[in-house]
Amino acid sequence: MTKRTYWAEHARLDDTVEPGVALDVADGRITAVHKETPAPPPGAEVLRGLTMPGLANTHSHAFHRALRGTVQVGSGTFWTWRDLMYRCADRLTPDTYHALARAVYAEMALAGITAVGEFHYVHHAPGGTRYTDPNAMGEALIEAAAEAGIRITLLDTAYFSAGFGQPPNTHQLRFSDGTADAWAERCSLLKERDHARIGAAIHSVRAVPADQLATVAHWAAERGAPLHVHLSEQTAENDACHAAHGRTPTRLLADHGVLGPRTTGVHNTHLTDEDIALLGDSGTGTCMCPTTERDLADGIGPAVALQAAGSPLSLGSDSHAVIDLFEEARAMELNERLRTRTRGHWTAAALLRAASADGHAALGRPEAGTLETGAPADFTTIALDTVRTAGPLPRLGAETAVFAATGADVRHTVVAGRHVVRDGAHTLVPDVPSALAGAIHALRG
């Protein structure tokens, strides 16, 4: 049994900031929490700043990181952005995807993220040819997370059509297993590990025919696994769904048994009042991705109304225009302020819960996201003495984190009791910028 003690100069416990907290850790879990510990115990690892539960990036497409700075050239729409994304996906192999994802997940660790939900749909070789290992691409992601030192929920994604009644296009052939039954057969070969959970995803109601939605939902239900779905990100999707089925995407998912407390709708941007009620009444979660939604000009989703209706909120960096969960939390509140011209829709504590505990729950780890005995020893520390964070009293740490800090202020990240980021440097991937640059350059051919 590996035992160690971390001493936090300040720590967020039960939504309050406590000075001098010692966290005893063994076998990847917190075994004791000692308040009123004014000095580090002998041999303790010192965490200067504010220590809080590790952040959960609920929605990621790791390969989209290669698009940063490229898709911002000129103007265009979501659909022209998608064409550039397809070209990037066409170049991925298991080896290049592993290298890119390892660097991306290391970037996440540097930003205080201890777990990621990877919405994974690049399953096969270009043209749809199966690899010898049919899950070679998913295994590359799982191994990349292990090497970067973070946890992963691999949300293996069903994707069978280019649109309602349309076969996959040339780019999408490598995403498709053909049918939901074939998808389920392949997914069932994936195995969970200490750092990896296996979940499911429906790419969208455009990409999974209505008569196959229940198969994906049943696969997840049998395993008690998380189930995620892109939902009403674009008004064009709503219009096409109405034309094909005479109902909204949310109603279509409800009618086929997809909604429920293990399910998370990603974006949930363009919803009717009935849609909001369906999601809330079923306990279906909502993952907001504000930095991507603004980058793609998607719109501002009704997060306040969704939460009030009963839909738990989580946050994701999605296309990785930036990787910074503090910015996602801040953007959700500030977007709502711009839309309504009023302030204070969420407290800083509530926004941090969306970025941590509620995100971990959406990824199938409800025990995570807290600093208490028995919880996973996953936590992150932000500095309180940078040009962004200096000045506020430590007891205002939540407000400082959400409304002032960025991922660049993260000094330490601990996952399963292991120091993955120490003093702002990744302990497993020595030069993350070079790893990112090299992996992205390899995709340019």
Which residues are the active-site residues? 267, 318
Burial of 104 from C-beta contacts in 10 A (0-12 / 13-18 / 19+): buried
Annotate 341-370 with b (16+ C-beta within 10 A) or e (fewer). eeeebbebbbbbbbbbbbbbbbbbbeebbb
Count of residues making up the chain:
445
**Residue pointed to by tokens 């970067």:** 148
CA–chain centroid gap for 430, Å, is 24
Strands (E), 61-122: 113-120
Q: Which stretch of DSSP H or E encloses residue 45?
A: strand 45-53
**Who's near 174: CB < 8 A, 6+ residues apart?**
89, 90, 122, 123, 124, 125, 126, 127, 128
The angle formed by the CA atoms of residues 100, 170 and 103, to the nearest 5 degrees, is: 5
Can you point out the beta strands (E) in 99-185? Answer: 113-120, 151-158
CA distance 34 to 22: 5
232 close to 249: Cβ distance less than 8 angstroms: yes
Helices marked H in 283-396 — which ranges? 290-295, 303-309, 325-340, 348-355, 357-362
For 123-214, where are the E strands, in sequence order? 151-158, 196-202
Q: Are 241 and 249 in contact (CB under 8 A)?
A: yes
* Interatomic CA distance for residues 280 and 26, integer angstroms: 38
In whole angstroms, what is the distance from residue 102 CA to residue 204 CA?
Answer: 27
In whole angstroms, give the CA distance from residue 134 to residue 124. Answer: 7
Cα 377 from Cα 338, distance rounded (Å): 37
Look up residue 76 and give its amino acid: G
The Cα–Cα gap between 39 and 118 comes to: 39
CA–CA separation, 316 and 324 (whole Å): 9
From the list 84, 65, 62, 60, the residue with the least C-alpha distance to 73 is 84
- Per the CB < 8 A criterion, the answer to whether 379 and 211 are in contact is no
